[in-house]
Amino acid sequence: MSSWYIRIETIEKVWPHPNADRLDLAKLADIDYQFVVAKGQFQPGDKVLYFPVDSILPTHVTDKIGLTGKLSGKDKNRVKTIRLRQEISQGVVANTSLLDHPDYQTAAHQCLVADMASAAATPHGEPVDYSTVLGIVKWEPEERISGGHNHGSRTMTLPTGVSMYDLESCARFKRQVEDLMDQPVVATEKMEGSHASVSLDPDRGFLYCSRRLLLVDPVTNWHVGAKASHLEDILIHLSTRFFPGRHLITVRGELLGPGMNGNIYGFKELHVRLFDIEVDSEPIDAEKFYEVLDGYDYVAPVLSKGRTLREWMTENGYTSMDQASTGRSVLGDTLREGIVIRPMREQRDPKLGRLILKQRSSDYLATHDT
């Protein structure tokens, strides 16, 4: 799962908004997002509560910070990437005095804060997450599992060995980005569609899954797109030539085409573009991925492969990960959603786990209701 939490953060930098006399721009010490604040409201070193993009703020919070009816989404309560006077703003910050309000000083909330503080007192020193105390939840896109004349398709929880797929953001893991700078990586376009995976299990046969669900009915859009991309044939090929034996083999990709998140690329037919292969729940090296899929058309667009991240960014004049993520899509006449970066050989990081990161384009997010 990608990180989402409400924590007390430190303002690192504040500078004037170039197009608004009453606004400033700011960044946090450990998160590489820019956001808009009122002129003079915060100074470097100030402690703040940071509400990241996709936070759903309850009315009792928006009332206290003066944002009731001013946010995004159908209920005007969702934090999104927006442009304010031509400048990107990603997230909302509030003074920590919000926690001093009587609404959060009941015995129950005091106990909850104490419990979280105790749990946070680990060797790793994880800060307290205040999302439960404040009643803030993360927005998740709805998975509409349907296809053809089948509505309300039967689903189950993900099967053993197939986990929910999510990636952490470069903006939250700046040290890990630095670790990738001088080693060979593959940079691929992050695609705007719906996550799809198909697994070949030696006992259960083929398993079709969305991001969060096992799809029981064999007529969903996921099945249609996977069959159009010959994923069952690919899995049989992988199991006989490259990974023989009783292995659980999973191919993962993005389902694109009609009905999938607005079909921004204008595809006429459903299909799946692959970006990962797992054997017994472990992802294979990027080098191996491109070897076993050599000659296969349906893969995520590759922006760079084999060069270091620094070389690729320097050659293209990119000075930040957000700048690197922004550009035209390889798949159609539209902005690309972002990029995904991983080393050519799989690595583990003590904090991140698998070393793979995404960067969603702020330009894309500010112009698309995702």
Contact by Cβ (8 Å): 355, 342: yes
302 Cβ neighbours under 8 A, 6+ residues apart: 186, 187, 188
Cα separation, 219 vs 225, in Å, equals 10
pTM (predicted TM-score): 0.89
Going residue by residue through the chain, which has 370 residues, state the pLDDT in tens, using 9 for 90 and above: 468 899 999 999 999 999 999 999 999 998 999 999 999 999 999 999 999 999 999 999 999 999 999 999 899 999 999 999 999 999 999 999 888 877 666 644 555 555 555 555 444 556 788 998 899 999 987 777 765 444 556 889 999 999 999 999 999 999 999 999 999 999 999 999 999 999 999 999 999 999 999 999 888 999 999 999 999 999 999 999 999 999 999 999 999 999 998 999 999 999 999 999 999 999 999 999 999 999 999 999 999 999 999 999 999 999 999 999 999 999 999 999 999 999 999 999 999 999 999 999 999 999 886 5
Cα separation, 310 vs 312, in Å, equals 6
Q: What is the pLDDT of residue 370?
A: 55
Domains present along the chain, CATH in parentheses: 7-138 (2.40.50), 155-367 (3.30.470.30)
Tokens of 317: 């004049």
Q: What is the pLDDT of residue 107?
A: 47
From residue 226, give the alpha-carbon distance in Å to each of 116, 121, 139, 252.
43, 46, 27, 10
Cα separation, 101 vs 138, in Å, equals 23
Q: What is the pLDDT of residue 128?
A: 85
